[in-house]
Amino acid sequence: MIDDLEAITFDFGNTLVPFPGGPMAVELRLTAERAAGLVHCSVEDFIAAWAEERLRQFAQDVPEGREADIDVRVIRVMARLRGRPAPPAGERWDDAALSAYSEAGEIEAVVGTYADAFARYTPVPPEVGPMLERLARAYRLGVISNWPLSLSIDRFLETSGWAAHLSAIVVSHRVGVIKPHPAIFERAALELGVASGPTILHVGDDPGADVAGAHNVGWRTAWIRVKPEDSPLPVAPPAPTAQPDITIDSVLDLEVALGLPGPPPAR
């Protein structure tokens, strides 16, 4: 049990929502189909270029504490498929030079397709919404997610109905840094309207990003130790000294861990 809490924040992927590989592959294929119609390429060519640019972003941006933004990836992939050579391995794109290869409306259409597919095909765990509703009666709630497209998270939280229980939705794509950077946690405290410190509990599955990051700004933490084995979501470098205040198997165990009554018994 943790006393004197005012707010609880949740990681999104593999915390509120499990992410096995299957649904994300569907979202990418639908995005590729939309883009292929604009660029006049094959779906497979788009997916192959997407995979290469994703790896380039993870190699170059993530170690610097920046997100692998999907809107940036779309611009680069579209440029490649329209004849712009990719930079050699280890070199960076000249993003300022890519505007000639696509129009803003095209990028908006492809990004919107990705976000729509994400909201439509990502399964909504049925027990999470009622849990958030119960917790919101006692605490201010927020989401803090490392995610490369904030529009995807926004649309999911709206269509699932979860946004009604949240006072803050903080996404790395929008903030410009990824967990464990302190700025993303401080932004959440500001949006929650709660002083950053031990009255906030952050719940997440990644010891390096969630536990170490939240502890570094003086928050309490709950670590979720079980997630899909085939999940494609990246994780932060290991943080062997990160010790959560609470360890649970599922986000649905949080109420019991906090000494709360939890859901009413089934009839």
Cis peptide before 240 (omega within 30 of 0): no
Q: Is the pLDDT of residue 164 over 90?
A: yes
Inside any domain, residue 243? yes
Angle of helix 104-121 relative to helix 21-39, nearest 10 degrees, comes to 150
DSSP state of 47: H
Inside any domain, residue 264? no
On whether both 13 and 55 belong to a single domain, the answer is no
Q: What would the mean pLDDT of 210-232 be, rounded to a whole number?
A: 94
Q: What is the rounded CA–CA span in Å between residue 238 and residue 36?
A: 38
On whether both 13 and 143 belong to a single domain, the answer is yes
Question: Residues 209, 235: contact at Cβ < 8 Å?
Answer: yes
Domain boundary (88, 120, 152) is at 120
What confidence category does residue 1 fall into, taking pLDDT thresholds of 50, 70 and 90? low
Q: How high does pLDDT run on average in the chain?
A: 94
On whether both 27 and 130 belong to a single domain, the answer is no
Domain boundary (120, 152, 174) is at 120
Inside any domain, residue 28? yes
Give the distance, in angstroms, between the CA of residue 159 and the centroid of all CA atoms in the same chain. 16
What pLDDT is stored for residue 154 in this prediction?
97
Token readout for 187 is 């932004």
On whether both 35 and 71 belong to a single domain, the answer is yes
On whether both 244 and 160 belong to a single domain, the answer is yes
What pLDDT is stored for residue 24 in this prediction?
81
On whether both 130 and 250 belong to a single domain, the answer is yes
Domain boundary (104, 120, 136) is at 120
What confidence category does residue 31 fall into, taking pLDDT thresholds of 50, 70 and 90? very high
Q: Is the pLDDT of residue 263 over 90?
A: no
Number of domains in the chain: 2
What pLDDT is stored for residue 267 in this prediction?
60
Question: Residues 202, 233: contact at Cβ < 8 Å?
Answer: no
Q: What is the rounded CA–CA span in Å between residue 27 and residue 121?
A: 7
185's CB contacts (< 8 A; 6+ apart) are 144, 179, 196, 202, 213, 214, 216, 217, 219
5's CB contacts (< 8 A; 6+ apart) are 139, 199, 200, 201, 220, 258
Q: What are phi and psi of 20, to 5 degrees?
A: -70, 175
Please tell me the least confidently modeled range out of 52-61, 62-71, 206-215, 227-236: 227-236
User: Among 122, 178, 116, which residue's Cα sits nearest to residue 147?
Assistant: 178
pTM passes above 0.85: yes
What pLDDT is stored for residue 89 in this prediction?
86
Provide the domain limits for residue 236.
7-19+124-257
Inside any domain, residue 266? no
Q: Is the pLDDT of residue 23 over 90?
A: no
On whether both 69 and 115 belong to a single domain, the answer is yes
On whether both 100 and 153 belong to a single domain, the answer is no
On whether both 111 and 128 belong to a single domain, the answer is no
Residue that wins the pLDDT comparison between 28 and 262: 28
Q: Is the pLDDT of residue 2 over 90?
A: no
What pLDDT is stored for residue 103 in this prediction?
93
Question: Residues 225, 247: contact at Cβ < 8 Å?
Answer: yes
On whether both 79 and 144 belong to a single domain, the answer is no
On whether both 86 and 131 belong to a single domain, the answer is no
What pLDDT is stored for residue 29 in this prediction?
94
Helices (H), 82-230: 104-121, 128-135, 150-160, 172-175, 182-192, 212-216
On whether both 115 and 175 belong to a single domain, the answer is no
Helices (H), the chain: 21-39, 43-60, 70-81, 104-121, 128-135, 150-160, 172-175, 182-192, 212-216, 254-257
